[in-house]
Amino acid sequence: MPDCIFCKIVTKEIPAKIAYEDAHLVAFSDINPKAPVHLQIIPKEHIARVSELTEKNADLVAKLVMTANRLAREYGVAEPGYRLVINCNPGAGQSVYHLHLHLLGGRPMKWPPG
Ligand code: AMP
Ligand code: ZN
């Protein structure tokens, strides 16, 4: 297992503001938020990047997205809208190599992203 900051959030070795947790997932506030609501939804299993997902992870991917949708409603950003982002590899700006789904909301979002 690599030295992984998000694995350490899963094991509570480093603190985070946890928004949701179950047997498979943790959701927590981003430490450097880019929007009024900025959560990370992550699998407890260490998967480095979205491109490493396989068919055996199909249920996990569904849980990630469904959890993000539910948290968007709970945090009051489902209307007028929110953005789910997964950055893959350095060219897309991935900086933490443990799969994470960004949930961003609470302000207007520009398109295309930078
Ligand atoms: P990415 O650039 O897509 O890999 O996103 C990584 C995200 O993790 C960034 O938005 C960081 O602000 C966030 N982040 C890094 N360290 C922590 C931490 N200890 N707790 C919460 N969020 C973090
Ligand atoms: Zn990890």
Tell me the pLDDT tens digit for each residue of 10-59: 999 999 999 999 999 999 999 999 999 999 999 999 999 999 999 999 99
Q: Which domains does the chain have, with CATH numbers?
A: 5-105 (3.30.428.10)
Amino acid 114: pLDDT: 83
Q: Is 98 a catalytic residue?
A: no
Contact 28, 17 (CB under 8 A): yes
The terminus-to-terminus CA distance of the chain in angstroms comes to: 32
At 84 the pLDDT is 98
Q: How far apart are CA 78 and CA 16, in angstroms?
A: 23
CB 84 less than 6 A from any atom of ligand 1: no
Ligand nearest to the CA of 98: 2
**pTM to 2 decimal places:** 0.98
C-beta 93 within 6 A of ligand 1 = yes
Cα 92 versus chain centre, distance: 15
Give the closest residue (by CA) to ligand 1 atom 12: 32
How confident is residue 8, by pLDDT bands cut at 50, 70 and 90?
very high
